Amino acid sequence: MKGFTVAGHVAVDEVITANGSFYQLGGPPCFAASLGNSLGFNVEIVTRIGEDFPDEYETELEQLGISTMRSNGYQNTRFVLDYRHEPRKMKLPSICKPIKTSDVADVERLLLCPIAGEINDQLLKEVETSFLGLDPQGLLRNVGFDYIVEPRKWWNPEALNKLDLLKTSSSEHHLITGTTDIKQSLRKLVDHGVGAAVITDGSNGSYVMTGSMFIHVPVFPVEVVDSTGAGDVFIAGLAAYLDEGLSWACAVASASSSAIVETHGIVIQRSKSEILERAEWVYEKIVSLD
């Protein structure tokens, strides 16, 4: 198990459900740090918060071990996540200061998790690390009329060739590869140099491909209260445990996701032993595919 650095924005999310709405802290750095605290691995954070970032949420960041300074002249990255629709509808009223290549210089193991375009292709071109992972969701979003988030295509062969790990979702991967077929999409990513390509598919589990294997990873069955952060926790668990074998890392990632979707917010309620027990269950049910 190894620690790593996560680069991406901390967000303030307004979550709307059939039962009402509420605000919560979000963004990949928060979920990765929360999982690191639960499983006992180190997570360094490179992020940005705006002048309007709520003081109470800054206290939550400190409790997670995240320290950051407010960016003068910028509002915080804020999402409106409407789960009354399937798939969810998103608005992005404000975006904080971008992250620069100099912010991640000299990082050995780096996980790039943009959510609002705060990481761009230039950074991907310039960054040099011993391990590089990417969740490209922020590269696949445009902000349209009335702050509505719309999908955009992204294709960067030079960046793909540098990636040891790429995780995307069943609703997004076609924006990179041009195909909705999961196997074909994964094959295209691997053929362009991605070390391990992952597509998460909600309750259907995840599909993972390398140059030598193609597997299906099931979800651990729980009652889903709030799916926000499931993908962020998945890639964090995967990155942390990769040195213990890809299948086991995927099992830990799936088990970790099950622990975050059981509750609202960023705090994981399950202990390390409980998460790893779930991982054992998942591991036994991983299937090799043709």
Residue that has been written with the tokens 């404000």 in this structure? 94
- pLDDT per residue as tens digits for the range 222-275: 998 888 899 999 999 999 999 999 999 999 999 999 999 998 888 899 999 999
- pLDDT per residue as tens digits for the range 3-26: 999 999 999 999 898 889 989 899
Kindly report the pTM of this predicted structure: 0.94
Alpha-carbon distance of 233 to 225, in angstroms, equals 15
Q: Tell me the CATH number of domain 4-288, given options 3.30.360.10, 3.40.1190.20, 3.20.20.70, 3.10.620.30.
A: 3.40.1190.20
Of 257, 251, 202, the residue nearest 35 (C-alpha):
257
Q: Identity (one letter) of the amino acid at 19?
A: N
pLDDT of residue 265: 84
Cβ atoms within 10 Å of 83's Cβ, excluding its own: 17
Q: Identity (one letter) of the amino acid at 209?
A: M
Alpha-carbon distance of 15 to 20, in angstroms, equals 8
Q: Where are the domains of the chain?
A: 4-288
132 close to 112: Cβ distance less than 8 angstroms: yes
Alpha-carbon distance of 28 to 233, in angstroms, equals 8
